[in-house]
Structure formats: C-alpha cells, structure tokens
DNA sequence: AACGGCGTCAACCGCAGACTA
DNA sequence: ATAGTCTGCGGTTGACGCCGT
C-alpha cells in the first residue's frame, strides 16, 4: 500500500524561497510557533509550499541564531572527530555545534572537509608517483577508483580516515602494512568484496559487529588474518568507545584516563591533519610492491592505492551501523566529548 | 565575450520511526 | 493490532556563481 503524499504536489511551489515567503513564515512562527503541525502550517499562512519545505526553510535558514559558513578550525576538528566516530549522523553532529544545521554541516563535509582530509591521499599518491610507480597523476583521489565513481560511503570514509590516523600513529600497524595482509588472487579479492557487499546489504550491522579492532592497538597479523578470514570489518562501537571520555565512572578510572590520553593523542593527530603539519604516510618500497596486488585488482596500476573496494553498496551502512543504544551512547559521548575538548 | 568545468549550497526526495485514531 | 499521518533524517539533485580557456 502506497504512502499518501504529504501535500498536493501540483499546487505546491518548489525551488528557492522568495523574501516574501520567508517573511510570512518567519512572522507566523515567531508569533504562533509551528503548532506541531508543519503540514497544516502553509495553508494557515497562505503559502503554496509543502509543509516539509517550510520546516526545512525554518530549521536551516530562518530560525534565530543560525550561523552560515565560516567554519572555525575547532568546528572542523569536532566535525571530523565525530564523523569518524559516529558517521554521518549530521543531526547529532549539528547538536554539538550551536547555530549550525545538519544540512550545513553535511554540505560542508561533502564539499570541503572530506577533501581536506581524504585529499591527503592525493599527496601520498603523488609521493608514490615521484618514486616512479604511478603513470597517471590526474584524478588520483579517493573517488577515482574504477570500482566506484562516487564516494557516498561514509563507513568506508571513516575507515580510511581511521586508517590514515593509524598510519600516522603506528606506521607499521597491520592496517597500514599490506605486507601483513593475506595474499589473495585478484579473483579472490573480488569475491571477497562481493561477499562483503552482499553481507552489508543484507545486514549492515552484522558487518560491523562482533569483531574487535582497537583504534590504538592494532591487531596482530594472526588476528588480522582471522579477521579477514571472517570478512569482518572493524567494530565501530569499539571505535566509538575509544572516543568516550570523561564518563565519570569511578570503576573505570584507569581506563578512563587511558581513554583520555588516547583521545588527546587522537586529537593531536587530527589537528595535524587539519593543519597539514604532518607528513602523509608514504609507503616504503617493499610496501609498494604489496600495493600492486590491489592495483592489479582494479585492472590498472595507474591510481592511488585504494585499500578497500569502494564498490560496497553501503547506502544504509552509515545510518544502520549500530543500534539505538549506540546512538544514545553517541549522544552521551558527544556531551562527554564536549567536556573533553573544553568546548 | 562565450563556453565549459567545477565547487558550493539550498532545496527536494524518500525512507524509517514515532505517534495517533 | 493496524493503518494512516507526521516528523526527522540522510542522500541526492539542480541552480548558480566563479574561474580558466
């Protein structure tokens, strides 16, 4: 059974809002409030707009104390940290940044921050190029893998960011060192990727749960082999917990303080990233040979190494990576996070 | 000046969950 | 219990402006 449309689309105006429309909407809401019924609101004030459109306009633009543009470095850090930690939960992230809307943050991430962070891969690839490995210097960014034209997969992005951070912290950790990865035939790789893809489609949470990866304690090679054997991915909850700080649970005193150190260390890394202070991870010569198997997997050696297949169709992974409990944890975490970072 | 490519951002769309009758 | 409605959210789209050729 289909869903009833929220409004009569034929009689609804679309596109940019006119100043008069803004004025009408703003004046009404400021005087009467939304009345808890966005659908009825446009009729009440004689606007030929969909209720949802009114809501969006109010929340993203007309609402008082909205800030547009001009994101500070501190805000950058918060967005990046939270994105890596909780994914594309823009509303939660926005809640930590007063005056910012989820839409704004989402746009800012997609158009700038993502490039700022992931674009560093470009640098490292260029370095590789200078070592005579690359043939193509154009479009060597993350999104250019032949497997995937678009990078909408926040989970993968987060993994990659996570790995970048790890590469800085522990350059020889498993995830940075393809030499520790099991050698697979390109065909096997593809099958693995397809399996991951289907797993992720059928049960997005299953992919992430049940496996441990500590953000700062990389698994041993044996563990890693086992991980890969199970075709698992890092446990995001685990990852997420690595960021929980200041939980004020006396029983966890020691762990808390450790967590605090981890986070501050992480924050330092992030700062470095954002400020371009650190040198991007440059694979060692022996590692580069290992990279080749992944490049061959893509049928070419012309691009930067993409660790993961970007071919995952994880449209839902980002939003379904954890259950509501985790979301609540995230919200708690966000509060703690705020304390931890002296916001 | 005209054109095309690209980046940005406001707005739309569709889904999922909460709520209500 | 169930169907309908509303809200909130995240992904995507399209208009617009800037810039290089």
Closest-lying nucleotide for A153 based on CA to C1': C11
Residue entry with tokens 């002296």: A342
> Is the C-beta atom of A89 closer than 7 angstroms to strand C?
yes
Widest distance between CA atoms in chain A: 70
Position A6 scores a pLDDT of 63
Establish whether the CB of A187 is closer than 7 Å to any nucleic acid atom in strand C: no
Contacts of A205 (CB under 8 A, 6+ apart): A320, A321, A322, A323
Highest mean pLDDT among A2-6, A59-63, A305-309, A332-336: A59-63
CB distance A328 to A212 below 8 Å: no
Nucleotide nearest to A56 (CA to C1'): B11
CA distance A214 to A266: 13
User: CA A327 – C1' C21 distance (Å)?
Assistant: 50
pLDDT of residue A125: 44
As a whole number, mean pLDDT of residues A302-314 equals: 33
Domains of chain A from N-terminus onward: 9-58 (1.10.10), 73-340 (no CATH)
Q: How far is the CA of A255 from the C1' of B10 (A)?
A: 45
| Structure-model confidence comparison of residues A184 and A313, the more confident one | A184
Smallest CA-to-CA distance from A215 within A246, A245, A190, A236 is with: A236
More confident residue, A25 or A228: A25
Q: Is the CB of A19 under 7 A from strand B?
A: no
A219 CA to B13 C1', in Å? 42
Contact A210, A232 (CB under 8 A): yes
pLDDT at A118: 66
Coil vs helix vs strand at A259: helix
Which nucleotide is closest to A94, CA to C1'? C9
Greater confidence (A27 vs A185) lies with A27
Nearest nucleotide to A315 (CA to C1') is C11
Q: Does at least one atom of strand B sit less than 7 Å from the CB of A63?
A: no
Please state whether strand C lies within 7 Å of residue A40 at its CB atom: yes
The structure tokens listed for A3 are 């869903």
Burial level of A173, CB count in 10 A (0-12/13-18/19+)?
middle
- Tens digits of residue pLDDT in A224-263: 333 333 333 334 343 334 333 333 333 333 333 333 334 4
Q: Which tokens sit at A218?
A: 């990389």
pLDDT, tens digit (0-9, with 9 covering 90-100), for A100-152 = 888 889 889 888 888 777 655 444 444 443 333 333 333 333 333 333 333 33
Q: Is A228 exposed, middle or buried (0-12, 13-18, 19+ CB in 10 A)?
A: middle
Nucleotide nearest to A15 (CA to C1'): B11
| Across A56-65, A116-125, A158-167, least confident range | A116-125
Under 8 Å between Cβ of A113 and A127: no
CA–CA separation, A226 and A205 (whole Å): 19
What is the average per-residue pLDDT within A145-168?
A: 53
Q: A11-20, A114-123, A321-330 — which is least confidently predicted? A: A321-330
Q: Who among residues 68-87 of A has its Cβ near strand B, under 7 Å?
A: 68-69
| DSSP state for residue A312 in the 8-state scheme | -
d(CA A207, CA A193): 12
């Amino acid at each position: 059974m289909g869903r009833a449309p929220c409004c009569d689309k034929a009689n609804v105006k679309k596109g940019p809002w006119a100043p008069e429309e803004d004025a009408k909407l703003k004046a009404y809401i400021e005087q009467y409030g939304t009345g808890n019924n966005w659908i009825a609101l446009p009729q009440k004030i004689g606007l030929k707009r969909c209720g949802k459109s009114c809501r969006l306009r109010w929340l993203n633009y007309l609402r008082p104390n909205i800030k547009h543009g001009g994101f500070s470095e501190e805000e950058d850090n918060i967005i990046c940290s939270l994105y890596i930690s909780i994914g594309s939960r823009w509303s939660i992230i926005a809640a930590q940044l007063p005056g910012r809307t989820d839409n704004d943050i989402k746009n800012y991430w997609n158009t700038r921050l993502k490039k700022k962070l992931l674009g560093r891969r470009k640098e490292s690839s260029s370095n590789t190029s200078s070592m005579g490995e690359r043939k193509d210097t154009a479009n060597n960014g993350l999104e250019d893998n032949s497997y995937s034209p678009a990078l909408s997969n926040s989970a993968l992005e987060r993994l990659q960011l996570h790995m970048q951070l790890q590469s800085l912290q522990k350059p020889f950790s498993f995830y940075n060192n393809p030499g520790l990865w099991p050698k697979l035939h390109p065909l096997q790789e593809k099958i693995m990727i397809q399996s991951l893809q289907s797993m992720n489609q059928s049960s997005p949470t299953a992919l992430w749960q049940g496996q441990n990866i500590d953000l700062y304690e990389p698994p041993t090679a044996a563990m890693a082999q086992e991980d890969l054997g199970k075709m698992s991915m890092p446990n995001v909850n685990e990852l997420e917990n690595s960021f929980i700080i200041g939980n004020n649970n006396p029983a966890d005193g020691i762990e808390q303080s450790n967590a605090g150190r981890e986070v501050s260390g992480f924050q330092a890394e992030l700062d470095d990233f954002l400020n371009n202070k650190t040198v991007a991870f440059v694979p060692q010569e022996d590692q580069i040979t290992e990279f080749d198997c992944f490049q061959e997997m893509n049928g070419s050696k012309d691009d930067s190494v993409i660790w993961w297949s970007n071919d995952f169709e994880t449209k839902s992974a980002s939003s379904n990576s954890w259950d509501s409990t985790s979301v609540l944890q995230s919200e708690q975490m966000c509060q703690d996070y705020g304390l931890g970072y002296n916001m």
